[in-house]
């Protein structure tokens, strides 16, 4: 048996022992995992520094290196995330619905763990802690397959987390790193049907497409983030500037950063110069109408409207109506997150109703589409599909359900 299939088999065994554990046992393990991260932070940072140095030598763009870099503050935030997950309600055992049937049978639909969850992700080593914590809390064994660029970081992180979890009483192999750094190990994971219950890819479009297209294991599809901010005719323009700046510049390399700005023609002449001044350092890819109100821009193409830049670039266009804005978003967007800035409640309602995205913000930055910001403690990813899970995936999204039927000698006849 290959190394990948062996860790999957071990996870299968661990999942059976993990599923019935009480919340107190899981929460204790999460707190122990958080404490271990803090106590072994020097090891984590040393391994991460090697990954970052290797990335720089390989010419990795700074926007991608930002996802890879760990700092003492980021490690502390990872630990805080684990502690927060420990405070959240345990989804396992929650009764989703229940009733007594006319024949007297008691019917309950109860949340249960998925079993073995495989996470395939790129660059960001903080995902290692987030995924491990959410899977442990929801009673799932987890197989973590990060990218080769973060292999040293993830090797140490998984060692820290797995040792702490086991020492705290969780079944051995509840948290494991998938061995290997080449595509063959991902391919084996995708073929491990019967050992792995679900795969969740988290990363760029290429990774997601490869897993969705090639996996024999069921996949929860996360999506790329071509997010749009629309400034309505009834917008508070100062508010709009603040939202656009936050959505684009606070962390441009993440999937909830804005990549497109659409402005109603009624306010474009006033708004665009103000926004451009506040967006200093951002390259504006503007259509002809928007460019007329900007001192500095480059022409926007179809590729720009479809782009997830992950950098200080922003596609900018003028639209004649809210309906034109939503038509543009439905054509070019990725279904991740859109935002409207408006003082008109009817406009906000029309905007929400005309879109088909996982999250829609009204007078708020797209950057809020995040498990932590939503109060989930962390997230496995942001799902843009429509089956089972959508938007930031927290604890409930890592469960399935079982129907528990209780009778008193009932027979169907």
Which pLDDT value is given to residue 223? 75
CA–CA dist 264, 279 (Å, integer) = 18
Q: What CATH number is associated with residue 276?
A: 3.40.309.10
pLDDT higher than 90, residue 413? no
Query: What average pLDDT does this structure show over 47-72?
Result: 92
Same domain, residue pair 52 and 178 = yes
Structure tokens at 5: 């299939």
Residue 378 reports pLDDT greater than 80: no
Q: What is the pLDDT of residue 351?
A: 98
Mean per-residue pLDDT for 258-262? 98
Domain range for 120: 3-222+393-406
- Read off the pLDDT of residues 70-94 as tens digits, 9 standing for 90 and up: 999 999 999 999 999 999 999 999 9
Q: List pLDDT tens digits, range 318-365.
A: 999 999 999 999 999 999 999 999 999 999 999 999 999 999 999 999
% of the chain exceeding 70 in pLDDT: 100
Answer yes or no: are the C-beta atoms of 360 and 391 closer than 8 Å. Answer: no
Distance CA 233, CA 290 (A): 15
Residue 146 lies in a domain: yes
- HEC secondary structure over the chain: CCHHHHHHHHHHHHHHHHCCCCHHHHHHHHHHHHHHHHHCHHHHHHHHHHHHHHHHHCCCCHHHHHHHCCCHHHHHHHHHHHHHHHHCCCCCCCEEEEEECCCCCEEEEEEEECCEEEEEECCCCHHHHHHHHHHHHCCCEEEEECCHHHHHHHHHHHHHHHHHHHHCCCCCCCEEECCCCCHHHHHHHHCCECCECEEEEECCHHHHHHHHHHCCCCECCECCCCEEEEECCCCCHHHHHHHHHHHHHCCCCCCCCEEEEEEEHHHHHHHHHHHHHHCCCCEEEECHHHHCCCCCCEECCHHHHHCCCCCCEEEEEEECCHHHHHHHHHHHCCCCEEEEECCCHHHHHHHHHHCCCCEEEECCCHHHCCCCCCCCCCCCCEECCCCCCCEECCCHHHEEEEEEEECCCCCCC
Indicate whether 94 and 214 sit together in one domain: yes
Q: What pTM was estimated for this model as a whole?
A: 0.86
Instruction: Give residue 256's pLDDT.
Output: 95
Tell me how far apart the alpha carbons of residues 332 and 350 are, in angstroms, rounded to a whole number.
19
Q: Is pLDDT larger for residue 173 or for residue 223? A: 173
Whether residue 17 is found in the same domain as residue 166: yes
Q: Is 205 a residue whose pLDDT tops 90?
A: no
Task: Give the pLDDT confidence of 138-172 residue by residue, as tens digits.
Answer: 999 999 999 999 999 999 999 999 999 999 999 99
Same domain for 175 and 256?
no
Whether 214 and 251 share a structural domain? no
| φ/ψ (deg, to 5) at 21 | -65, 145
236 and 217 assigned to the same domain = no
1 confidence band (pLDDT: 50, 70, 90): low
Note whether 235 and 181 are same-domain residues. no
Q: How far apart are CA 375 and CA 377, in angstroms?
A: 6
Q: Is 318 within the bounds of a domain?
A: yes
Question: Rounded distance, CA 350 to CA 327, Å?
Answer: 12
For residue 337 the two structure tokens come to: 């997150």
Residues 268 and 353 both lie in one domain: yes
Average pLDDT for 35-58? 97
Q: Is residue 132 part of a domain?
A: yes
**Residues 204 and 235 placed together within one structural domain of the fold:** no
Q: Would you state the structure tokens that stand for residue 135, as one six-digit string?
A: 């899977």
Residues 335, 262 within the same domain? yes
Is 272 found in the same domain as 213? no
Count of domains observed in the chain? 2
pLDDT one-digit tens code per residue, 283-305 = 999 999 999 999 999 999 999 99
**CATH number, domain containing residue 207:** 3.40.605.10
pLDDT of amino acid 79: 96
Q: What percent of the chain has pLDDT over 90?
A: 88
Q: How confident is the model at residue 64 (pLDDT cuts 50, 70, 90)?
A: confident
Residue 328 lies in a domain: yes
pLDDT at 384: 85
Q: How far apart are CA 121 and CA 232, in angstroms?
A: 36
Same domain? For 331 and 362 the reply is yes
């Amino acid at each position: 048996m290959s190394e990948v299939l062996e860790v999957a088999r071990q996870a299968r065994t661990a999942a059976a022992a993990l599923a019935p554990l009480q919340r107190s046992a899981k929460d204790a393990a999460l707190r122990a995992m958080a404490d271990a991260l803090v106590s072994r932070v020097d090891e984590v940072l040393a391994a991460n520094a090697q990954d970052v140095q290797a990335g720089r030598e390989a010419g990795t763009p700074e926007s991608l290196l930002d996802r890879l870099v760990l700092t003492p503050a980021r490690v502390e935030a990872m630990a805080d995330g684990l502690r927060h997950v420990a405070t959240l309600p345990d989804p396992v055992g929650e009764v989703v619905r229940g009733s007594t049937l006319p024949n007297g049978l008691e019917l309950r639909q109860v949340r249960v763990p998925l079993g073995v969850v495989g996470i395939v992700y790129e660059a960001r080593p903080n995902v290692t802690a987030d995924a491990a914590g959410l899977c442990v809390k929801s009673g799932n064994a987890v197989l973590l397959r990060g990218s080769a660029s973060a292999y040293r970081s993830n090797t140490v992180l998984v060692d820290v987390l797995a040792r702490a979890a086991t020492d705290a009483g969780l079944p051995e192999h509840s948290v494991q790193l998938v061995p290997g750094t080449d595509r063959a190990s991902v391919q084996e994971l995708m073929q491990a049907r019967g050992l792995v219950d679900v795969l969740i890819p988290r990363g760029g479009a290429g990774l997601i497409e490869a897993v969705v297209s090639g996996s024999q294991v069921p996949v929860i599809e996360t999506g790329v983030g071509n997010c749009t901010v629309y400034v309505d005719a009834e917008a508070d323009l100062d508010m709009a500037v603040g939202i656009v700046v936050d959505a684009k510049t606070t962390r441009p390399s993440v999937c909830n950063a804005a990549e497109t700005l659409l402005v109603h023609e009624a306010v474009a002449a006033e708004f665009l110069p103000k926004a451009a001044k506040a967006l200093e350092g951002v390259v504006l890819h503007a259509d002809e109408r928007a460019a007329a109100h900007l001192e500095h821009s480059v022409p926007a193409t179809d590729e720009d409207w479809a782009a997830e830049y992950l950098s200080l670039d922003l596609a900018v266009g003028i639209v004649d109506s809210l309906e034109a804005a939503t038509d543009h978003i439905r054509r070019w967007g990725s279904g991740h997150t859109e935002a409207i800035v408006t003082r008109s409640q009817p406009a906000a309602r029309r905007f929400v109703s005309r879109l088909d995205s996982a999250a829609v913000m009204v007078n708020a930055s797209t950057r809020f589409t995040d498990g932590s910001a939503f109060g989930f403690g962390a997230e496995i990813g942001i799902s843009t599909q429509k089956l089972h899970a959508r938007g930031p995936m927290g604890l409930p999204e890592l469960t399935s359900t079982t129907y528990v039927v209780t009778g008193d000698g009932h027979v169907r006849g």
